[in-house]
Copies of this chain bind each other. A is one copy, B any other.
């Protein structure tokens, strides 16, 4: 859109919206128009919610989660098992595990995965912080809930190596057939893993 059509203010709004994941240039234009049309009910509340987020949201200094307090609600929750730490790549993965209600434990957000091609080394991730938490004692299990990608698995191996000197169990998520999944649509690696790790029925 040439900026002469609707002025630089709208153009800037569109350009910033287009940088959100899931929105391209075309859907960013639609989103901007929608925002301007719903000024009272969406544009103003969203601007305010973003201002609040910008002001209040902090990264938890213990686990790397984001929250409005530090330590975060999960680290501060006395109802959670402090002896189990679930290691995840990102806050999004932490949320996914919480939505599933899979476990009531503590978390540790690495902030990414090791990726030599992208120049991400161990010092770029919160691995030293994890080792320090384990070294402080009281942790009996570390569950590696990293993604089942090559970089994720490399990172899992690296983290395991860093923890070998401590007396704890290091586990990882099971591979297998997704619940509701059909064998015909699954890749060979997943089927092979599901067969290897078959359980009693």
Contact = CB atoms under 8 A, between A and B. Distances in A.
Interface of A: 1-2, 4-7, 9-10, 12-13, 16-17, 19-23, 27, 29-36, 38-39, 42-47, 49-54, 56-57, 65-69, 72-74, 90-92, 94-95, 98-99
Nearest to A73: B4
Given A13-B49, A16-B46, A27 B36 contact: no
Contacts of A32: 53
A37 B92 CA distance: 11
Copies of the protein in its oligomer: 2
A20 B4 CA distance: 25
A7 B73 contact: yes
Given A19-B42, A27-B21, A67-B6, A1 B99 contact: yes
A12 B74 CA distance: 19
Nearest to A44: B54
A1 B98 contact: yes
Contacts of A56: 9
Contacts of A16: 42, 45-46, 49
A53 B53 CA distance: 19
Nearest to A47: B50
A66 B17 contact: no
A148 to B, nearest CB: 19
A9 B72 CA distance: 13
A78 to B, nearest CB: 13
Nearest to A42: B19
Contacts of A2: 98-99
A13 B53 contact: yes
B20 A35 contact: yes
A131 to B, nearest CB: 24
B90 A33 contact: yes
B53 A10 contact: yes
Nearest to A31: B20
